Structure 1
């Protein structure tokens, strides 16, 4: 089912969490939060929306990370019912697309619920204090031709890094519903 994300709840404090990547390495949100902020995104392997943007998403994240903005991705789906999203498949997906950020497993879906994530992809941009400043889309290309696109997520995260505030105008991300247990 196709969904749009809700509007940004500016200033919402991110709840802390700890999740593991498919190899068992733990990552804690509060330890990853840097002075220039953190992009947290909910993605998965099988979603056609994620597949359509993954190459430019990886490149945009490399750009942000080079500028000191931290990035974490969380896979929230019930991978028992959707085996394409299982941890072993996450490792393959990350390798295949050269993902530069940790890709974490939300096995009990508690993190997705705490953040009120609704779809994949779902982007959350936090300032250095862990306050939400962006809940929008990757860019204006959607599933179309990315030539000439406006990199809205990159622009928003740069603004957050510089000012601590996100843009007032944000467009919802579009994606597949999270596959809840």
Structure 2
């Protein structure tokens, strides 16, 4: 079932974390933080919405990193119920798609809960001071191929954050598959 993210709560502070990456390193928010902003993206390996946008997401993440925006992707899905989202499969997914940014495993799901992440993909764009400035979507494509003239909403928003510290006031929520929570 597809769900939408809530509207951006401008200035909301980024919660810290300490998570293992597919590169064998443990990463915190301060390790990921960029001098001009930080993008935290909740994704997974199996979601059709993520699969549809992953190449554009990687393209835009790498371009933002070149502008001084730190980027990390986090998988919080329950790998017992969704084995495609296991840590080993995360390693393969990151390699297959050429991630130059950390792909982190939130096994306890505490980080997803701290961020109030609701779906994959779910984008959290922070300014240099780690205040939330973007909680929108990548672009208008959803899980369809992007039109050649599709506006790069995430890239444009985070470029503006890098330049001015401000995200756009008009944002369209991201849509994707719900986070796959562990049974209580």
Q: TM-score, normalised by structure 2?
A: 0.95
Q: Deviations over 1:102-159 (max 9, x none)?
A: 1000010000000000000000000010100000000122233421110000000011
- 1:169 corresponds to 2:170: yes
Aligned to 2:151: 150
Any gaps of 5 or more consecutive residues in structure 1?
none
1:141·1:150 contact (CA, 8 Å) conserved in 2? no
1:139·1:151 contact (CA, 8 Å) conserved in 2? yes
State the alpha-carbon separation in 1 of the partners of residues 75 and 86 from structure 2: 9
Q: Deviations over 1:57-102 (max 9, x none)?
A: 1111111111111100000100111100000000111111112211
Gap change, CA 1:159 and 1:128, over 3 Å in 2: same
- 1:58 corresponds to 2:58: yes
1:7-156 correspondence runs (5 A)? 7-146=7-146, 147-156=148-157
State the alpha-carbon separation in 1 of the partners of residues 111 and 145 from structure 2: 33
1:18·1:29 contact (CA, 8 Å) conserved in 2? yes
Give the secondary-structure state (helix, strand or coil) at the position aligned to 1:39: strand
Shift, 1:52, TM fit: 0.5
Any gaps of 5 or more consecutive residues in structure 2?
none
Q: TM-score, normalised by structure 1?
A: 0.97
Q: Structure 1 stretches (4+) deviating beyond 3 angstroms? A: none
State the alpha-carbon separation in 2 of the partners of residues 6 and 169 from structure 1: 13
